[in-house]
A and B are shown apart, each in its own frame.
Chain A
Amino acid sequence: MDRQTNPDRRMNLDIDWTSCQGHGLCAELLPEHITLDEWGYPLLDGTPVPARTVKRARRAAADCPVLALRLAPAQAG
């Protein structure tokens, strides 16, 4: 199994709704996983972030002005 598709390296996105201000930056940085709802808040597509996208996802998380976007290892299996 190559490291691009290895399920052990996938990550899940998670929003801390008590912090998120709907800045929408995350949707610009990670459009294939995050869109915005009609009020400007992020809608996650619910799929794990594949290994090849994890680096960009980390950027998006670090760039969220209130650090509301988080990454956690996807459950194996």
Chain B
Amino acid sequence: MDLFCKAQLSLWLVILACLSTDAYAVIASEKLNQNVTTANHSEFKTLQKQFHSGPEVTKACLECHTEAAKQVQQSLHWTWEYVQPKTFQTLGKRHVINSFCGSVTSNEPRCTSCHAGYGWTDMQQPPPTDETSVDCLVCHDTTGEYVKLPAGAGHPAYKPMESPAGSGHMQAPPDLTSIAQNVGHSQPANCGSCHFYGGGGDGVKHGDLDSSLVNPPKSLDVHLSHDGANLTCSDCHTTSGHITAGSRYQGNAHDTLGIDVPGHTDMSRASCESCHGPAPHDKAKLNEHVDRVACQSCHIPAFARGGVATKTWWDWSTAGRLDENNKPITLYDENGHLSYLSIKGDFHYAENVTPDYRWFNGTVHYTLQTDTIDTDNPPVQVNWIEGSAKDPDSRIWPFKIMHGKQPFDTVNKTLLVNHVYSPTDDSALWSNFDWAKALQAGTTIAGQPYSGQFDFIQTEMYWPISHMVGPADSAVKCSSCHASNSRLNGIPDIYIPARDHSSLLDKIGWGTALLMLIGSAAHAGGRGIAAVRRRRKKS
């Protein structure tokens, strides 16, 4: 081989190598360390001291981050108030009733343990205005040591506490100094410290958000997994000036903007299309589904998949039953999940739950304290979703539908504010086990009109499923929907091959085919008999 030939060959090899996907993969697999910063907080003099409270730490943070508290105080994480842009209902945790613990109002110090601040003890008042009441650490702690007290209105422990209660084991309070010196970008564990524990425990509320997402295997969540895209919550829930993208009150059910180039449409990033584009499949037929089917419907085959169960039924009406010694009762089901608590009533928990599917255009309505409910046709929809086949903005979405029974006013026909927790007196259900007293107290605190007559009514509540996206090969199979026992059996006004057919056409079709077969057989039989007869006659 002469030199020229050799040179030509090696040139081709180089080009081939560059074109091969392997070469591309090497380049693409180099991930940025997202936690790199230009500041080492432990070197800052202002953080090198003993802190005695959360607000003290915040004060130190604000010396440099002068605008941070003002920004946080504009955010939903702070105001807990959201005017729904389509329905104009005033929503947010401050106002809504849900089908878990009911309402924040009247249970403040417990519920506001998940407020991004300190000391919000009265929902009838706006959150505290003092900038030092903003809690920087709950979102920016990287040590995992910062824990808010369950009923401390947002404060962590400042002195040793017995944990668990009654165990005699004393737990030292978090070391605020070391925590402050190690702050960084928010990680799933930060967001999860509230969002994974909604409804009173790990995984209880959402079903697609629980502690298994802190370090998930790729099979559970391709986005958050370190073996997967290794993203954090805020990579999709883009945050700018402490305002975070994404909403469950007004969702984006059909992102038609496609891939967001950084610097463009950044605050719409909490959608699959923002990264994957509007036609992400190799197979055209699959891309032809995305106008009517949300990505989540196929790519989240089940929720509560990470080993943490989610609550699917909560019957408050049975709460308050005590044992023969007047002590609260705790019961478990055969899987070891709670099934009864005197303070909360009966539950069902479930894992690997197949979602329910509904048309959804992103708009969610709520039954507020002031709204009249239709008590003749339960279940009452604590919230309900908009969407239909006719609406081009609607797609088929997966939901966790929470079921249960909740107290309502039989005269005024409203859902009632449920006073479950009180640190100071015995007005609340969890100390008195007396519904009449608890509802009287709750409605009084909330200023909700109450006739004094109550009963329990079955309710349901819709929770869109958007997390726990599995790898492509774990996506729901075609035949899970395209079959007579389809996952989409409840979805109206759309023809789904193999799910739908005209039974009249089928009857006529198969009937005629059968007649044709029988007719042919009879004709053949007739010919056979006639032939035999002719032969007999001849002989």
Instruction: Tell me if chain B binds chain A.
Output: no
Residues of B within 8 A of A (CB): none
